[in-house]
Amino acid sequence: MADTVYLGVDLGTSRTSITSSNGIRETVWSYVGYPKDHVAKKKFGGRDIVYGKEAVQNRLALNLFRPLAGSSVKKKGAKDSEDIKRSIRDLIEYIVGLAKIPAGSTIYAVIGAPAEASVEGKATIIEAAQSCIDSVIVCSEPFSVAYGLDFLDDTLVIDIGAGTTDLCRLHGTMPEPDDQRTHEVAGDAIDETLANLISETNPEAQFSINMVRGFKEKYSCVTENIDNATVEMPVSGKPQKFDITELVYKACYTIVAPTVAALQDLIATYDPEFQHKMRQNILLGGGGSQIKGLGIAIERGLEEYGGGKVTTVEEPQYAGSNGALKIALDMPEEYWKEFSATGGSGDEAASA
């Protein structure tokens, strides 16, 4: 009988991570590139598809897709083109391939999606995954983070990605739609704000959004003791140094207010007897959790509402995929057999 391999996947706008029951963990930038012509294909050794960081670094020779950005997976009401659907499928096939699963194995996977992902978005994931996975269940990304760390009782989870910031209220049972919130001030929005601030302050500087993203990832901070952020950008082709310390702080701080507002909304609509406990049990995850001082800034924002205690996950890159794998391992066999024919949504996954 063929072995069964379980997978947990955190399908992110910026990065996608996988944790496998065979012990493999991998992360790839969520980019898919297709060579523009036969010369480009020769450059890539005859490959038809290039992935991740390599695709970004060679984007001038590729038709480059960041397939999850703006797709129905991340944005309600979005319509996915055939190119977007293909690139999502290719990305999932690639990340599953990194798990080095023996031929003939049965593959069961739980894939994380935004807290308020649309029905269409979940269907897009399931359809894309069917080419390489025998049975797939889609669950809420913040729920998978909490499940992996056993933060399931009177907990508020914040999962900050590139496209969205997802929040989920957990109270010992599967989360309902009313327990979840999403706002779009996340990594990409911070990048855009920082780019605008740089343009306004230093109009002579030349830069790309990828350069700005690198500046943010290196210096991101929302404390007054921010490290000096001196970066190099060309001016008329000549490299020059610029101090963007204050600009980085301003851009990063834009995430605090909408996150605090969403948290307070989830708290205020919860059973009043348990609101205090929930405020003291806030879990911060996702790539955006690495912004220095963010947990403290959120706590300060909650002071006028009675305060709060924020704990930042220790391993944000894999917290979502680790939790998704744990859900997969805990799922009864009969569920997998049912979902292999019908596909599964986050509600079913959460009930396991």
pLDDT digits (tens, 9 = 90+) for 23-76: 999 999 999 999 999 999 999 999 999 999 999 999 999 999 999 887 877 777
- Tell me which H or E stretch contains 35: strand 32-35
Domains of the chain: 4-146+317-350 (3.30.420.40), 187-253 (3.30.420.40)
For the cut 70, the answer to whether the pLDDT of residue 246 exceeds it is: yes
Under the banding of pLDDT at 50, 70 and 90, the label for residue 174 is: confident
Residues 6+ apart with CB under 8 A from 227: 219, 221, 245
Under the banding of pLDDT at 50, 70 and 90, the label for residue 352 is: very low
Tens of pLDDT along 78-130? 788 999 999 999 999 999 999 999 999 999 999 988 766 667 888 899 999 99
Q: What is the mean pLDDT of the chain?
A: 90
Backbone angles phi, psi at 29, to 5 degrees: -60, 140
| pLDDT at residue 140, as a whole number | 85
Q: What is the largest CA-CA distance in the chain?
A: 66
CB hemisphere CA count around 333 (13 angstroms): 3
Over residues 298-305, the mean pLDDT reads 94
| pLDDT at residue 343, as a whole number | 52
Residues 6+ apart with CB under 8 A from 123: 343
- Report the predicted TM-score, pTM, of the whole model to 2 decimal places: 0.84
